[in-house]
Structure 1
Amino acid sequence: MRVVVVGAGAVGASIARELLSHGHEVVIFDEKPEVIGRSDLRGAQWIIGDACELSTLREGGLEDTDVVVAATGDDKANLVVSLLARSEFGVPRTVGRVNNPKNEWLFDDAWGVDVAVSTPRLMTALVEEAVEVGDVVRLLTLQTGGASLSAYTVPHEHPVIATMVSQVPWPPDVSLVAILRDGVPVTPSGDDVLEGADQLFFVSSAEGEAQLRAMFTTADRRPHEDPAPQG
C-alpha cells in the first residue's frame, strides 16, 4: 500500500515509522529540509514543500496513492490537504488529525475526510471507557457514512448477562463486532453468551448509537429480581 503522510512531527513520524515496519511504501511531506534523513525513517521517500500546494502534491504522486494521512499540527492545513487529496487526485482514503476539538465538526466528507482522529477526544474516550462501566463510549468517528466505533462494558448483575448475542434486541444500524473478555478478543457469534465485565465493541450509525445507549440505560434500570412479597 502506498501512503502519504503529511507532517513529520512527532505524530506523523510515529505513523510513518509504523507503516514502514509493516512493509508499506511511505512518502512523507514536510516544509523543513532538516527533517530529511532521520535514521528511524529510513526507506521513506521525502518531499520538502508546502503540501497545501497542488504542485507539491503532484511531486509526491498523489494520483497513485492509496491513503493520505494529514498529520500536521495545523487543523487548517490538514483540512486543505484532505480536500485536495480527494477532489484533485481522487485518493481513495484520507485520515485527518484534529488538533483542536472545537474544529472536529469540520472534519467530514465535505472536506474530503474519511476518518477524523482527535487525540484529545480519543484519550478522553479511553479514560471514560476504562472507568465508566455501564455507559456507551464513542472511541472513533468514521466520517464516511457517519459511522462510529463505540464500546460498552457490561456491569455485573446487568440483565443482559447470560443472554446469547442472537437473543439481544440490538437496534437497527448497530453491529457488534468484537467482545473483549479477560483481555482476550472474541469474534462474536449468535451463540456466545454475554458475561459481566465483557467489553463490547460496536460499529453503528449516529442514530443507532443513540438507540444503543438508550437500550442499555433502560435495561440497566430494570429490577434484577422480583421484589419480596409484602404481607
Structure 2
Amino acid sequence: MKIVIAGAGSVGRSISRELISHGHRVALIDRSPEAMRIASVPEADWHLADAGDIDVLTEAGVGDCDVMVAATGDDKTNLVVSLLSKTEFGVPRVVARINNPKNEWLFDEAWGVDVSVSTPRIMTSLVEEAVSVGSLVPVFSFHQSGALMHELTLPDDSPVIGELVSEIPLPPHTVLAAILREYRPINPDGDERFERGDELIFLTAKEGEGTLGEIPLIFSPEDDAPAPEELDELL
C-alpha cells in the first residue's frame, strides 16, 4: 500500500518505520525543518511543506494513496488534512491523531475521518489496565461502528474461575473476543475454562454499553450488579 503521513515528529517517524518494515510505501510531510530527520527513515519520501496545502498533498501523491495518516501535534491541522484528503482526493482510508481529548467529538465522518486515535485516551487506558483488577477498563472505541473494547482482569475470588467459557452468559450485544493468559492470546472457545489472572477482552456494540455491568465475571452471585446509571462510576 501507499501511505502518506502528515507530521514527521516522533509519532509520524515511528509509524513510518513500522509501515516500511511491513513492505509499504510511505511519504512524510512536515513544515518544520527540525522535523526533517531524513536519516531516521531514509526509505520514506520526504516533503518539507505544509500538509494543509492542496498542492503539497498533490505533490506527495495523496491522490493515489491508500491511506492518509494525519499525525501532527495540532488537532486543527489534523482535521484540515483529513477533510482535504477525503473530499478533494477521495482517499479510501483516513486515520487521524487526536492530541486533546476535548476535541474527540470533532473527529468524525463530517471531517473526513474514518479512524481516530486519541493518544491521551490510549495512555489513560493503559495506566488503568495496569492497576485495575476486577474492573472493566475501556480500551478502544471503533469510530465507524461505534463498537467498544473493554478489558477485565479476573480477580482471584471471581465466581467464574474454573467455569467453562460457554457456561457464562453475556448480556446482549457483547462478546468475549479473547483471553490473554501469560502474555499469550487464547481463543475463548466453549472448551476453555477461566483461570485466575486471565485478562478478558470484550467487544460491545454501542447499544449494549448500558448492559456492561451485567457481565457475570466481576460480581459474586450474591452481589448486586450495578444499575446502568452506576456504570459510569465503575468505568
| TM-score by shorter chain over 0.5 | yes
Question: Residue in 2 aligned with 1:108?
Answer: 108
TM-score after normalising by structure 2: 0.86
Question: Residue in 2 aligned with 1:229?
Answer: none
Question: Residue in 2 aligned with 1:51?
Answer: 51
Partners of 1:148 and 1:91 lie apart in 2 by 25
Question: Residue in 1 aligned with 2:91?
Answer: 91
Contact 2:32 2:48 in 1 (8 A): yes
Partners of 2:188 and 2:218 lie apart in 1 by 21
Question: Residue in 2 aligned with 1:6?
Answer: 6
Partners of 1:3 and 1:175 lie apart in 2 by 33
Contact 2:135 2:218 in 1 (8 A): no
Contact 1:114 1:142 in 2 (8 A): no
Question: Residue in 1 aligned with 2:214?
Answer: 215
- For 2:29, what is the secondary structure of its paired residue? strand
- Residue-by-residue CA offset, 1:28-84 (whole Å, 9 max, x unaligned): 111134544621201101223221222221222223212111110100111111122
- Residue-by-residue CA offset, 1:122-176 (whole Å, 9 max, x unaligned): 1111111111111111112221111232211111221222232222222333232
- Residue-by-residue CA offset, 1:184-228 (whole Å, 9 max, x unaligned): 11122122111221101122223324322x11378505338xxxx
Instruction: From the superposition, tell whether residues 83 and 190 of structure 1 become closer, same or farther in structure 2 (CA, over 3 Å).
Output: farther
Higher mean alpha-carbon deviation, 36-45 vs 3-12, is at 36-45
Instruction: From the superposition, tell whether residues 168 and 89 of structure 1 become closer, same or farther in structure 2 (CA, over 3 Å).
Output: farther
Structure 2 unaligned residues grouped into runs of 5+: 224-235
Instruction: From the superposition, tell whether residues 111 and 193 of structure 1 become closer, same or farther in structure 2 (CA, over 3 Å).
Output: same
- For 1:203, what is the secondary structure of its paired residue? strand
1:175 aligns to 2:183 (yes or no): no
Instruction: State the shift of 1:99 in Å.
Output: 0.9
Q: Which runs of 4+ in 1 moved over 6 A?
A: none
Partners of 2:93 and 2:178 lie apart in 1 by 24
Identical columns (%) = 51
Partners of 2:173 and 2:49 lie apart in 1 by 43
In the alignment of these two chains, the number of paired residues is 223
Partners of 1:44 and 1:109 lie apart in 2 by 28
What amino acid does structure 1 have at the position aligned with 2:168?
A: V
Question: Residue in 2 aligned with 1:162?
Answer: 162
What amino acid does structure 2 have at the position aligned with 1:204?
A: T
Higher mean alpha-carbon deviation, 94-103 vs 163-172, is at 163-172
RMSD value over aligned CA atoms?
2.0
